[in-house]
């Protein structure tokens, strides 16, 4: 009986270590620390250390999007693309403990048109 319990504990411990964290803390001049499962905790620590919270490229593969420029990455690794506004994506990421990243197929960042009424306001 003890052998079965020991084997179960070893199997359980090895499978927990194999799950990689979906979020990384990126600080200037340092290697990313990929240990965050909660995007809001990663963002909080990133703000405290003057860094940023990015998606772990080894764990989460950003899909190519043609609908919106931004994708919401959930703690489970699931992505929802289709956000055209980064602020809305960041708000949803904060509510769902995820992170907002630019999609792979996103175009270059657009500058406001100075001749358009209410541009940049």
The pLDDT profile of the chain, 121 residues, written as one tens digit per residue, is 665 555 555 555 444 444 678 899 998 888 889 999 998 899 899 999 989 888 888 888 777 767 788 889 988 888 888 888 889 998 998 899 888 888 877 666 666 666 666 554 5
Q: Helix crossing, 39-48 with 86-95: angle to 10°?
A: 110
**Number of structural domains the chain divides into:** 1
Q: Is residue 79 part of a domain?
A: yes
Q: Is residue 9 part of a domain?
A: no
Q: Is residue 15 part of a domain?
A: no
Q: Is residue 41 part of a domain?
A: yes
Task: Specify whether the CB–CB gap between 22 and 77 falls below 8 A.
Answer: yes
pTM above 0.95, yes or no: no
In 18-118, which ranges are continuous DSSP H helix? 39-48, 86-95
Q: Is the dihedral of CA 60, 65, 67, 70 positive or negative?
A: positive
Residue 51: both structure tokens together: 């860094």
Q: Is residue 6 part of a domain?
A: no
Q: Is residue 80 part of a domain?
A: yes
Q: Is residue 85 part of a domain?
A: yes
């Amino acid at each position: 009986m003890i052998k079965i319990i020991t084997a179960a504990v070893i199997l359980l411990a090895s499978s927990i270590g194999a799950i990689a964290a979906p979020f990384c803390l990126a600080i200037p001049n340092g290697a990313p620390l990929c240990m965050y499962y909660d995007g809001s905790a990663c963002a909080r620590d990133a703000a405290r250390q003057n860094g940023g919270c990015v998606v772990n490229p080894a764990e989460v593969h950003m899909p190519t999007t043609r609908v919106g420029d931004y994708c919401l990455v959930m703690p489970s690794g699931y992505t929802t693309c289709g956000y055209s506004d980064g602020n809305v994506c960041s708000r949803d990421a904060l509510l769902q403990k995820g992170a907002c990243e630019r999609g792979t197929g996103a175009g270059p960042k657009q500058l406001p048109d100075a001749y358009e009424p209410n541009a940049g306001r």
